[in-house]
Amino acid sequence: MDLERLTAADVCPICGGMGWVLDSADGRKLAHPCICRASEAARARLSAAGIPERYRDCTLDNFSDNNASLTRAKTLAREFVDAYPAVDAGLLLVGPSGRGKTHLACAILSEIVTTKGASGLYVDFSDLLMKITTSFRPDADFSKESVLTPYAEAELLVVDELGAAKPHAWVLDVLYSLLNTRYNRKRVTIATSNFEDEVAPGSGEREKLEDRIGYRLRSRLYEMCLLVSLKGSDFRKDVLGTKIRSRF
Ligand SMILES: [Zn+2]
């Protein structure tokens, strides 16, 4: 039984799991940190980022871009990852459901956390609202600061499905102040949403982003993020749209 465990265990072949490599020079012992420490730290950061199980294997490479707008989104995502942390703004990925917004956001998050040594955090918008609401209850187990601090502090934050739930005005105020804190500290935020500034024909949505999250929060997000539209499979319309956007 023990043998089986040993062979299955993921032990570093260089240091045998010690994390240190011992050397000797002129009869003196020298200890160097093993290279596996960096990859272990990267794995720990990735698991702390809280990416949902079904999106953990999402990468930019396995993002399927079968139309011009998705190819453009993938290119922007690649440029964003390569430039990070030297980026001016976060990203606001919008478009109808099923276009891969969450895939793209999680792929960016996991690559940056793994390769750039940044701390990152994923949160579903509805979960975040619930956390805010419960943390403000008088009988809450945790203080509101302890609940919100990780989201304010994370170097990179992904807020998924923005507008999926419709928050109370006071919850919106808390959210606004959270994003504002991030903005002032130059922390980067990526958000995804099915809601756009105009209701897209055939999208099935009746409300605009502003109707869901209010004018103030919507404006702050537009200041903090570069808008990236992930559209449907209407190739001609998308190509035309891309040209129009890039020319002016
Ligand atoms: Zn090692």
Cα-to-centroid distance, 35 and ligand 1 (Å): 6
Cα-to-centroid distance, 42 and ligand 1 (Å): 14
SS3 category, 90: strand
205: exposed, middle or buried (Cβ count in 10 Å: 0-12, 13-18, 19+) = middle
pLDDT tens digits for range 20-42:
999 888 889 899 899 899 888 99
Clarify whether residues 112 and 10 are in a common domain.
no
Cα-to-centroid distance, 31 and ligand 1 (Å): 12
pLDDT at 203: 64
28-33 and 225-229 as β-strands: parallel, antiparallel, unpaired? unpaired
pLDDT at 205: 67
Cα-to-centroid distance, 14 and ligand 1 (Å): 5
What the block records as the tokens of 141 is 């187990």
Greatest alpha-carbon pair distance for the chain in Å reads 77
What the block records as the tokens of 239 is 């190509």
Cα-to-centroid distance, 41 and ligand 1 (Å): 12
Confidence of residue 137 (pLDDT cuts 50, 70, 90): confident
Cα-to-centroid distance, 113 and ligand 1 (Å): 20
Give me the residue label for tokens 């930019």: 60
Where residue 201 falls (left for φ over 0; alpha for ψ -120 to 50; beta otherwise) is beta
| CA 170 and chain centroid, separation | 25
Arithmetic mean of pLDDT, 43-55:
95
Clarify whether residues 29 and 58 are in a common domain.
no
What the block records as the tokens of 22 is 């011992």
Domain count within the chain: 2
Clarify whether residues 56 and 103 are in a common domain.
yes
Residue 141 is part of which domain span? 39-247
Please provide residue 33's backbone torsions phi and psi, each rounded to the nearest 5 degrees: -65, 135
pLDDT at 9: 52
Cα-to-centroid distance, 166 and ligand 1 (Å): 48
pLDDT at 26: 85
Arithmetic mean of pLDDT, 185-212:
86
Cα-to-centroid distance, 224 and ligand 1 (Å): 40
pLDDT tens digits for range 59-95:
999 998 989 999 999 999 999 999 999 998 999 999 9
Cα-to-centroid distance, 201 and ligand 1 (Å): 55
Clarify whether residues 20 and 136 are in a common domain.
no
Share of the chain above pLDDT 70, in %: 88
Arithmetic mean of pLDDT, 220-247:
67
pLDDT at 233: 60
215 within 8 A of 221, measured Cβ to Cβ: no
Provide the 8-state DSSP code for 55.
Answer: G
Arithmetic mean of pLDDT, 187-196:
95
pLDDT tens digits for range 158-183:
999 999 998 899 999 999 999 999 99
Clarify whether residues 14 and 121 are in a common domain.
no
